[in-house]
Structure formats: C-alpha cells, structure tokens
A and B are shown apart, each in its own frame.
Chain A
Amino acid sequence: MELFDLALIWAFIIGFGIIMYVLMDGFDLGVGLLFPFAPSEDDRDTMMNSVAPVWDGNETWLVLGGAGLLAAFPMVYTIVLPALYIGVFLLLAGLIFRGVAFEFRFKARTSRYLWNWSFAGGSTIAAFAQGAVVGAYIQGFNTVDGVYVGGALDWLTPFTILTGLGMLAGYALLGSTWLIMKTEGHLQAWAYRITTPLLIAVLVVFGIISVWTPFVDDTVRERWFSNLSVIWILPAVTLLCAFQIWRSVRNRFEGMPFVATMGLFITTYLGLVVSKWPYVVPPNYTLWDAASAYESQLFLLLGLLFVIPIVLVYTAWTYWVFRGKVRAGEGYH
C-alpha cells in the first residue's frame, strides 16, 4: 500500500539538491571564472583561499544528485545523460581539472601558471556546460518509448549556447558578490567594480532567455500567457533582487549583494520549476512517469533522511568556521 506520494517527496529532495548545488558550487565556479581577471597573483591566492575550504563539500551535492536521480528517477538519468553525452564529458573534465587545481596550486611554485589555467578553464567549461543543460531541459528531449533517440549535439543550439552564457554571467555575479563579502581592500574594491557590469550582463542575458523561452516551448507559452497568474510574481521578485544588488553595491554593503544574488537565482529557479512542472523529461514525461519502483524509492529514502541532516549540519558548521574575511597571506596552507 502506497501511503505517501514518494515520487513527489523525491522530486522535492532532488529539486532541493539542485538549487543547493547551483548556489554553492555556483559561487566557487564563479570565483574560477573571475580568476584570470584578478588584479594580481596575490589576489588570486586570496580568491582561491576564500573558496578552498568549502568547494568540495559543494560538489558533493552534484554526486548525490547523480546517484539520487538513478535511484529515484531513472528515466531522467537514462534519457538526459545520453542526450547530453558530450556535454557531460566536458562538465566532468572541467570539474576534475579545477578540482585538482585546488590541491596542487598551493603546493606548486614554478608550475603555478598551469594550475591557474586548469582552475579557470575547468571552471568556465563546467559552468557553461551546466547552463547548456538548463537550456536543453527547457528545449526538451527527443524520445521514443522512454529512450533518447536524438543526435549527439541536439543539446547544442543557439538557445542552449545562450543559456550557457547566462550561467557564466550568473555564476560570475555570484563569484563577485561572494568576493565582496569575503575579502577587503583593493580586491574587494575590484569586486565592487565588476559587480554592476556583471549584473547588467545577467539581466540582459536572462531577459533574452525569458523572451525566447515561450518560443522554444509551447507548454511554457501556454502557462505564462493563458492565465495571467501568480507566476508573474517570480520575475517581479527577480527584478527586485536585481535592484537590491545594484543598490547594495552602490551603498557598499558587504553581505547584501551576495544574499540578493542568491535570491535572484532562487526566484529564477522557481520560475523554471513552475513553468515546466511536472515535466522532468520534457516534453513527454512527468516526474511520476520517470519514477522508479515505490519500494526502491522508499528503501533509499530511509537512509537519506538520516544522512541529509548530518550533511547540512556539517556544511553549516564548515561555513561557520570559515566565516569572516579572508586576508592576503593568511593562507590556507
């Protein structure tokens, strides 16, 4: 007897995991994107130090998401991964290169520039690939009987390239506002300087994507325009967040720009969710179509309910330990 709609619970868990990942790995990927443009090598040290203690915890959400999808929504796993075959490889390669750069850059001396490139290049590729994934999800997947039947590069279209660029801009904004919060002096001043242009870039790209989306997906068009509903609250709040970022940068607030950027991401994400709900493999399959067997979802849920709180507490504790400013030379090693 199925007491609960486990598929719904799982959709919530995975949805939560995705936004946790986007926010948390987003800012450290963003720091990687900004890395080559930093004023000096010492600033690069500080930038890396500001994310070094937390980035791998951030990426655990990605692995958990991958395994969780296989367990709870195998159809998503087995359609989306083949459809994004090349993109997944680029994403993983990018994450590997930036991951090892964290470890070896601090230990390297003469070979440091190689790890700089590894960090910046890996971050850029990973961020772009993630944006393209979002675009591919909006586009939908070419399936027959629950199997992907499209080509290798169906995911790479002008639309997904734009969403990829959107993600680059968005993560860079998360990165710059993170640096405002975590650094001081001339590095912070630099972060303040680049935040407003980045915000404008984000607004422009997100704006184009928003206008374009209803033409890519009929369901979204219908939902947006058939009943002028609560959905429109979300873009309104998004703009409010954008205004807040601009205002707090102008007033030289330190924490608010980052918080408002997270708000901007969350409302955009919610906008995406309510636009596509309940389709997890658009245009054909809902989360209930994609769900695994009830007993399998239940079996894993028991363990997850035990572990997720621990991971959350540990995460919170890590951020607490590393609260405050990161100073130059006060290295992580």
Chain B
Amino acid sequence: MELDPLILSRIQFAFVVSFHAIFPVFTIGLASYIAVLEGLAFKTRNPVWTKLSGFWTKVFAVVFGMGVVSGIVMSFQFGTNWSAFSQASANFLGPILSYEVITAFFLEAAFLGVLLFGRDKVPAGVHLFAAIMVATGTFISSFWILAANSWMQTPAGFELRDGIFHVVSWSDAIFNPSFPFRFMHMALASFLTGGFVVAGVSAWYLLRGREVEANRKALSMCLWLLLIIAPAQLVVGDFHGLNTMEHQPVKVAAMEGNWETSRNVPLLLFAIPDQENQTNHFEIGIPSLASLILTHEWDGEVPGLNEVAVEEQPPVAIVFWSFRVMVGLGMLMILFAITGLVLRSGGRLYKARWYLQGLRFMSIAPFFAVLTGWFVTEVGRAPWLVYGLMTQAESVTPSLTGGMALFTLIGYILVYAAVFSAGVYYLMRVLYVGLEDADDEEHASDRPARPLSAAHVPFEIESGQSGVHQAKPMNDGGH
C-alpha cells in the first residue's frame, strides 16, 4: 500500500494538537480559579484559601509546563507538514500566531514567576495582581489561537491575490463570523474543565478524609460555579451550532447525520452513518427534534449532506459520533451540577459517597468533551482547511513523502509517550501528596525559575511514604 502523506499528516496533526489542547484548556480554567482563591485569601485573610491556592498553583505549574513543551512542537507543524497552507495564509496566521507567542512570553516574563514563587516575597496585593494577570493572559493567548482557527472556519477580512491571502481588515479577519461563539464556547469549556477537575480531586480527598475543611470549601464553590456554567454551555453551544449552520451547513448536516435537506428532521440518538451508500443504519431518533433545535421550529428545514458533492463531504461517522459524545458528556455534567444542588439543599453533599465517587470520575469528562468537540469542528470542516477556499490536499507540503510523514508520526508518538507519561505520572504524584505538602514549599530559591519547579514533590514514591497521607477514610458517609 502506498503511504499517503496527506492522511499521515492529518493523523500527526490530530495527535499533536489533541495532546497539546488538553493542557491549556485546563490551565485557562485553573488560572481563573487560582485568581479567585487569591482574591478570597486577600479579602478574608482566611489561611484555607491560601492553602488551596498554593496547592492548585503547583498543579497549574506542572500542567502549564507540559502545555509549553507540547506547544513548541505545534509552532513548527504548520511549516513542516502544511507548508502550502502556511505560504498562502502567512500574512494572517503569521502575525496572529506570533502574537500568541508574544502574549505567552510576556505573561511568563512578567507575572508567572511572581505567582509561582513570590507569595512571601511580594506584597499580598501584588501577588493577587499577578494571579489575575496570569488568568487574563491565558485568555488572551486563547483569543489569538481561536481567532486563527475561526478564520480557517469562516474566513473574512482578506483578499486572495495569486493564491496568497492578503489581509484587508484586521478587525474583520480576527473577529470573523464564528469567532465570538467559538471563543465563548471554549472559555466555558475551560471553566468546566477546571471546575470538574478541582471538584473531582477535592471529592477524592474528602473520601479519604484529607484536609476536610479546605476541600469542602473547594468542592462547594466549584459546584456553585458548575451549576451556572454547565447549563450556560448548553445555551452557548446552541448559538454556536446555529452560527455553524449559517456558515458551514454541511458540518451541521454531518453532526446530525442528515443526508438530505428536509423538514421535520429527527434528532438521532443512535445511527451508524454509511458514507458509501449515503444513508444511516439502525437509526433511533426523536421526531422533528433536530429541526426544532436548529431552526427553533418543528418543521424547520435542516441542511443535508446532499447539498455538496460526495467528495466535498466530511467523514460523517466521526463528526456524528464525536458530537454525540460531546453533548452526552455535557448533559452528564449538567446532571452532576444539579444533583449537587439537590444534595446540598438536603445537607448531604459531603456525605453522599456515591456522589463524591462519581465526581472523581467526572474529572476526566471535560477533557473528552473538549477533544470530541474539536473533532466535530475540525473533521467537520473537511475536505477544507480554509473553508471553501483551500482544501487539505492543496495545503500539504508538496515535498513530503509518506515515508517521511510516517517516520515523524511514529517519532512523535514515542516521544510523547515517554515525556508525557512521565509528566502525567508526576502530576498524579503531586495530587497524591496533596495539600498537606503546602507548608514545605518555598524552601531556599529566591530564583525566578521555571513553572514545573514550583512543585517540590519527589518523582518516585519513596518507601514508607506511601501510607503517610492515608488518613482514616471518612466514616460518616451515608448517615
């Protein structure tokens, strides 16, 4: 079989970008949470907030470090594998991506060091200010990245001359039609991720009876947040979908598994899309509901995949199922947020062990929701890279051979497997050691060192240490 550099490059990009995405989506949410904790600590002078902030800042440092490492790879992917695309779109994407890098550096240079290492060295107000700036900076970073991505989805503000995009309006290009919705959707996704991770970890500590006061506070505030954010995400997602239907109807058709433009389209709960025969198998659906959701009318017309030639359709099954996983996880998140409220009003929030166990597992749900969401929007754009203007096949590096692409694909998988399993393992160690370690940080070093060094947890489990923090498990559960 001939190795196809296009397919392999797509797999490689999907792999490295998915790996990268999970880190920033977490750090963006977590940075805001830390800023809130710092604010509370500053206002109330309650040491519990300081303790929580110190612990989550360490987690932030490790995840941020992994995000930076995986981000370095991203900045070269456009050139190595998608040089034709880079050449065509450099006038816009070059400055936009550079601004992201600049933002990140500026943030790191000016404020990250103060946040990570400055607690006892700068006035409390300055430390709070640094926390707020770091949180703001992560949003500005995502602003640029999402502007670049949204422009590829709904290009605007440009002129195409000799196959090269020239920017005629920076504001139109940056604030292109899908940008506001994508940015909001992603911002809420970051909050959901941060919220569910903190909630899940706090629940785990509570199950083990560790640092009960602090972790109850953390869990409680997270659940309040999620109670607002999780349903809000549903609304924003709906708006994002409507925007997509306006600008990329074929993507919506793939999300709904709708092969023909028609009215009274059912919402499919299950189906096996069959691209070859342009139909679905084993459909289970709710009549007319897709029409209602997308057009807000029972008999509204929903675009079908037949609007475009078969070769211009995205891979329907991936988009269809990714969308269902994302929405399903979103619904589960809403359910957990509401259950939290019910338990709280009954005064059973910290005693319902089954709920705390559930939250533990929910801490990974947002990551899958974010990844499947990106699969929907990225795979759903196929075969286009710049929607309607430049296909993926036109974008790939002309000199790239299948063998070269396969070599680096395997290479990246091996490198990431080694490096990030070490990173995730270490993160687990930091979580395992927990808040109790907060006191012995800040020893020595008045050095503005690097993110990861904010955590002092040893790499290996040391003998005798493993049982230290296993305080007696909570024994009042269920009463």
Contacts from A to B (Cβ < 8 Å): 52-53, 56-57, 59-60, 62-64, 66-68, 70-72, 74-75, 77-83, 85-86, 88-89, 92-93, 95-97, 99-100, 102-104, 106-111, 146-152, 292-293, 295-296, 299-300, 303-304, 307, 310-311, 314, 318, 321-322, 331-333
CB pair B105 A333 closer than 8 Å: no
**Bound: A296/B89 CA distance, A:** 11
- Tell me if B464 counts as interface (CB < 8 A to partner A): no
CB pair B419 A100 closer than 8 Å: yes
- Tell me if B124 counts as interface (CB < 8 A to partner A): no
**Bound: A93/B407 CA distance, A:** 13
Given A107-B459, A148-B399, A311-B109, answer yes or no on A70-B73 (Cβ-Cβ < 8 Å).
Answer: no
Most buried by B among A78, A96, A292: A78
CB pair B419 A292 closer than 8 Å: no
- Interface 9-mer from B230-238, B444-452, B470-478: B444-452
Given A104-B426, A307-B105, answer yes or no on A300-B95 (Cβ-Cβ < 8 Å).
Answer: yes
Given A99-B69, A100-B419, A108-B459, answer yes or no on A86-B404 (Cβ-Cβ < 8 Å).
Answer: yes
CB pair B80 A81 closer than 8 Å: yes
**Leading 7 A-B pairs by shortest Cβ distance:** A71-B94, A81-B79, A74-B90, A78-B83, A300-B95, A103-B452, A314-B109
| Minimum CB–CB distance for A297 against chain B, Å | 8
Given contacts A66-B76, A70-B94, A292-B91, 20 further A-B contacts (CB under 8 A): A52-B449, A56-B68, A64-B98, A64-B105, A66-B79, A70-B86, A71-B95, A74-B86, A77-B83, A78-B83, A81-B76, A82-B398, A89-B80, A93-B415, A103-B65, A104-B459, A296-B167, A304-B98, A304-B102, A307-B105
CB pair B110 A310 closer than 8 Å: yes
CB pair A299 B95 closer than 8 Å: yes
Given A70-B78, A295-B167, A296-B167, answer yes or no on A332-B445 (Cβ-Cβ < 8 Å).
Answer: yes
Of chain B, the residue at the smallest CB distance from A108 is B459
Proximity string of chain B (391-405) to chain A, C-beta cutoff 8 Å, 1 when within and 0 when not: 000000111110110
**Bound: A150/B401 CA distance, A:** 11
| Minimum CB–CB distance for B351 against chain A, Å | 37
**Bound: A293/B166 CA distance, A:** 7
- Tell me if B13 counts as interface (CB < 8 A to partner A): no
Contact for B99 among A102, A146, A303, CB less than 8 A: A303
| Minimum CB–CB distance for A39 against chain B, Å | 25
Q: How many A-B residue pairs have CB under 8 A?
A: 210
- Tell me if B460 counts as interface (CB < 8 A to partner A): yes
Contact for A332 among B75, B83, B97, B449, CB less than 8 A: B449
Q: What are 26 inter-chain pairs, A to B, with CB distance below 8 A?
A: A52-B453, A53-B449, A60-B105, A67-B101, A68-B98, A70-B94, A70-B97, A81-B76, A85-B399, A85-B400, A85-B408, A93-B415, A96-B419, A97-B419, A99-B69, A109-B458, A109-B459, A109-B460, A147-B84, A151-B399, A293-B167, A295-B166, A299-B95, A310-B106, A314-B109, A321-B448
Contacts of B76 in A (CB 8 A): 66, 81, 88, 92
Contacts of B100 in A (CB 8 A): 67
**Bound: A152/B403 CA distance, A:** 9
Given A310-B106, A318-B448, A322-B447, answer yes or no on A63-B84 (Cβ-Cβ < 8 Å).
Answer: no
Contacts of A96 in B (CB 8 A): 69, 72-73, 415, 419
Of chain B, the residue at the smallest CB distance from A300 is B95
Docked complex: B429-479 residues within 8 A CB-CB of A = 444-450, 452-453, 455-460, 462
**Bound: A43/B401 CA distance, A:** 45
Proximity string of chain B (371-406) to chain A, C-beta cutoff 8 Å, 1 when within and 0 when not: 000000000000000000000000001111101100
| Minimum CB–CB distance for B269 against chain A, Å | 43
Contacts of B75 in A (CB 8 A): 63, 66-67
CB pair B398 A149 closer than 8 Å: yes
Of chain A, the residue at the smallest CB distance from B78 is A70
| Minimum CB–CB distance for A82 against chain B, Å | 5
Contact for B408 among A60, A86, A106, A322, CB less than 8 A: A86
Proximity string of chain B (27-42) to chain A, C-beta cutoff 8 Å, 1 when within and 0 when not: 0000000000000000
- Tell me if B92 counts as interface (CB < 8 A to partner A): yes
Contact for A100 among B411, B412, B422, B462, CB less than 8 A: B422
Contacts of A311 in B (CB 8 A): 105-106, 109
**Bound: A215/B272 CA distance, A:** 63
Contacts from B to A (Cβ < 8 Å): 65, 68-69, 71-73, 75-76, 78-80, 83-84, 86-87, 90-95, 97-102, 105-106, 108-110, 164, 166-167, 170, 397-401, 403-404, 407-408, 411-412, 415, 418-419, 422-423, 426, 444-450, 452-453, 455-460, 462
| Minimum CB–CB distance for A186 against chain B, Å | 24
Contacts of A67 in B (CB 8 A): 75, 94, 97-98, 100-101
**Bound: A296/B158 CA distance, A:** 12
CB pair B98 A107 closer than 8 Å: no
**Bound: A152/B76 CA distance, A:** 17
Of chain B, the residue at the smallest CB distance from A115 is B459
Contacts of A71 in B (CB 8 A): 90, 94-95, 97-98
CB pair A147 B398 closer than 8 Å: yes
CB pair A148 B398 closer than 8 Å: yes
CB pair A104 B422 closer than 8 Å: yes
**Bound: A47/B167 CA distance, A:** 49
| Minimum CB–CB distance for B260 against chain A, Å | 41
CB pair B404 A293 closer than 8 Å: no
Contacts of A321 in B (CB 8 A): 446-448
**Bound: A333/B3 CA distance, A:** 48
| Minimum CB–CB distance for A6 against chain B, Å | 12
**Bound: A119/B170 CA distance, A:** 43
| Minimum CB–CB distance for B253 against chain A, Å | 34
Most buried by A among B80, B84, B92, B398: B80
Contacts of A322 in B (CB 8 A): 447
Contacts of A149 in B (CB 8 A): 398-399
**Bound: A332/B83 CA distance, A:** 42
Contacts of A304 in B (CB 8 A): 98, 102
Of chain A, the residue at the smallest CB distance from B450 is A56
Given A92-B72, A111-B459, answer yes or no on A82-B80 (Cβ-Cβ < 8 Å).
Answer: yes
CB pair A78 B84 closer than 8 Å: yes
Given A92-B76, A99-B69, A295-B167, answer yes or no on A107-B457 (Cβ-Cβ < 8 Å).
Answer: yes
Contacts of B444 in A (CB 8 A): 331, 333
| Minimum CB–CB distance for B402 against chain A, Å | 11
Of chain B, the residue at the smallest CB distance from A61 is B105
Of chain B, the residue at the smallest CB distance from A83 is B399
Contacts of B455 in A (CB 8 A): 107
| Minimum CB–CB distance for A148 against chain B, Å | 5
